[in-house]
Structure 1
Amino acid sequence: MNYEQLSLIQLDALKEIGNIGAGNAATSMSKLIHKKVDMEVPSIDIVAFDEVMEMVGGADKLIVGILFQILGEAPGMVYLLFSIEEAETLIKEMTNNDEISLSIDGEQSELAISALQEAGNILTGSYLSALSDFTNINMQPSIPHLSVDMAGAILTVGLLQVSEVYDFAIIINTKMNDAGEKQKGINGQLLLLPSPESFNKIFQALGIQGYE
C-alpha cells in the first residue's frame, strides 16, 4: 500500500468525523474545567511518514506524546501530540493554577501528568466514538501511556509497526479555544494509525475505495 493523497471528498468525510469528535470533546472539557470551551478541526492531512516528524517540529524536538491502543473491531494506535508549551498551557487551564508546570525540580508533576492523561482520554475517546458511530465499527481507546521525549523516540515504534504495509498516517490537527479568547487557543495533533488489517475496513465503511 503506497502513499497517495485522498480526494477532497474523502478528506471532507474525515473532517466531518473530526468536527463531530471535536464537538463531543468540547462538551466534555467544558464540564471538566467549568468553562465554555470551543474546539475546531483546522485541517485533516494524509501525510507520508517522513513528513510526520516535520509536522511536529523535527525528530529532535521535545514533545508530549499520549499513546492509546485502539481496542475493538479495528485495532491500531492513536497518538495525541503537544509541544511542551501547549501541554503546560492545557495543564494550567485544567487545574486553574498558573504556577503548575510539567516538571518540578526535574521530576514530572503527578498532577500535571494526570491532567494531561484525562485530557487525552476525553479528546481521543471523543474522536474514536465519532469514528465508531460513523462507520458502525466498534473502536475504544485503551488507558493512556504518556511520554515526554524527543518526537523521534515517541513516534518511531508506532510508525515501524505499520510501515511494512503502508507509508502514510492520518493527522487531525485540533485547536481548543477558551470561548472568550480564541486567539489563545491550544493546538494539538492527533495521529491515527490503524493496524494494516483495519485500514481498509475503516475506509470501506466510509464509502472510500480500499487500497490494494
Structure 2
Amino acid sequence: MVDINKLSSYHLDVLGEIGNIGAGNAATALSGLLNKKIDMKVPAIKIVGFNELMEYVGGPDQEIVSVCLRIQGEAPGSMFFVLKPEEANALAEKLLGVPVKDVSSDEMALSAVSEVGNILSGSYLSALSDFTAINMQPTVPTLLSDMAAAILMQGLVEISQESDYAIIIDTSIEENNQQDDTVKGHFLLLPELESFEKIFQSLGVQE
C-alpha cells in the first residue's frame, strides 16, 4: 500500500501540473464552444482523508451542485466536480450570458454546468492518463443538487472499504482574465485502493 506520508511536495507539484494541463485543455475546449476566452487554473491540490473531504466542501449539510461520474479502465474510482450553488449560478451565467437565480431549477443552466463538468473531467482524466500511461475513461456524468453528504456518500461508500484518501484539485474559471469575477470549484478524485497505488507508483512512490 502506498504510504501517504511518503508523498513529497514534488509529487503534489506533478499532480498540480497535470491538473493545469487538464484545465488548459478544458479552457481551450470551452473557449471554442462559447467563442470567447475562458481561463482555467489549478491554484492548489491536496490529498486528504475522507473525514477532511466532507469538511473541505463546507460540511455534510452544505448544499452543493455536483457533476458526478465513475472512472473506468485500469484505475477505477469516482469523480466529482463540486460547486456551491452561488458558484454554479455564476458559472451558468458566464456560459449562457443571462442571469441565473437558481441553477437547480433551470434546465438550461443545469445542462450548461453539466457540460463544463463533463469537459473538465474528461480533460483532467486525459492529462492524468497520458502522464501516467494508465488507461482511465469517464462514464456519462450525472448532475445533482443536494447536501454534500447525500451526493458524496455514494462515491465514498463505493471505495471507503478499500481506500482512505481523496485527491482535491481546486479549480478557478475566469472569463477574459477578469479575476474579480472568478468562479471557484473543487474537482474531487476518489480512486479505489489499487488505483491510488497505480497512480502514485507511476509518479515514483513505491510501496
2:120 is aligned with 1:131: no
Q: Residues 14 and 44 of structure 1 are in contact (CA less than 8 Å); yes or no, is this contact kept in structure 2?
A: yes
Written as runs of structure 1 = structure 2, the 5 A alignment for 1:1-212 is 4-5=4-5, 6-99=7-100, 101-103=102-104, 108-210=105-207
For residues 28-81 of structure 1, the C-alpha deviation after alignment (integer angstroms, 9 at most, x for no partner) is 111122211111101000011111111111110110011111122211110110
CA distance in 1, matches of 2:142, 2:42: 24
Q: Residues 68 and 79 of structure 2 are in contact (CA less than 8 Å); yes or no, is this contact kept in structure 1?
A: yes
Name the TM-score, length of structure 2 as normaliser.
Answer: 0.94
The 1:205/1:187 distance shift into structure 2, 3 A limit, reads same
CA distance in 2, matches of 1:43, 1:133: 21
Question: Amino acid of the residue matched to residue 181 of structure 1?
Answer: Q
State which drifts further: 194-203 or 53-62.
Answer: 194-203
Q: Residues 91 and 101 of structure 1 are in contact (CA less than 8 Å); yes or no, is this contact kept in structure 2?
A: no
Q: Residues 49 and 169 of structure 1 are in contact (CA less than 8 Å); yes or no, is this contact kept in structure 2?
A: yes
Gaps of 5+ in 1: none
For residues 142-174 of structure 1, the C-alpha deviation after alignment (integer angstroms, 9 at most, x for no partner) is 111111000011111211222222211100001
CA distance in 1, matches of 2:170, 2:98: 26
Q: Residues 3 and 167 of structure 1 are in contact (CA less than 8 Å); yes or no, is this contact kept in structure 2?
A: no
Q: CA RMSD in A?
A: 1.6
What count of residue pairs does the alignment treat as equivalent?
Answer: 206
Q: How far apart are residue 11 of structure 1 and its match?
A: 0.6
Please give the secondary structure, in 1, of the residue aligned with 2:181: strand
Q: How far apart are residue 208 of structure 1 and its match?
A: 2.1
Question: Amino acid of the residue matched to residue 126 of structure 1?
Answer: S
Q: How far apart are residue 204 of structure 1 and its match?
A: 1.3
Q: How far apart are residue 112 of structure 1 and its match?
A: 1.4
Q: Residues 68 and 144 of structure 1 are in contact (CA less than 8 Å); yes or no, is this contact kept in structure 2?
A: yes
CA distance in 1, matches of 2:88, 2:199: 30
Name the TM-score, length of structure 1 as normaliser.
Answer: 0.91
Q: Residues 125 and 136 of structure 2 are in contact (CA less than 8 Å); yes or no, is this contact kept in structure 1?
A: yes
Q: How far apart are residue 115 of structure 1 and its match?
A: 0.7
Q: How far apart are residue 179 of structure 1 and its match?
A: 2.2
Gaps of 5+ in 2: none
State which drifts further: 17-26 or 4-13.
Answer: 4-13
Q: How far apart are residue 2 of structure 1 and its match?
A: 8.5
Structure 1 or 2: more helix by fraction = 2
The 1:76/1:99 distance shift into structure 2, 3 A limit, reads closer
Q: Residues 25 and 123 of structure 1 are in contact (CA less than 8 Å); yes or no, is this contact kept in structure 2?
A: yes
Q: Residues 80 and 191 of structure 1 are in contact (CA less than 8 Å); yes or no, is this contact kept in structure 2?
A: yes
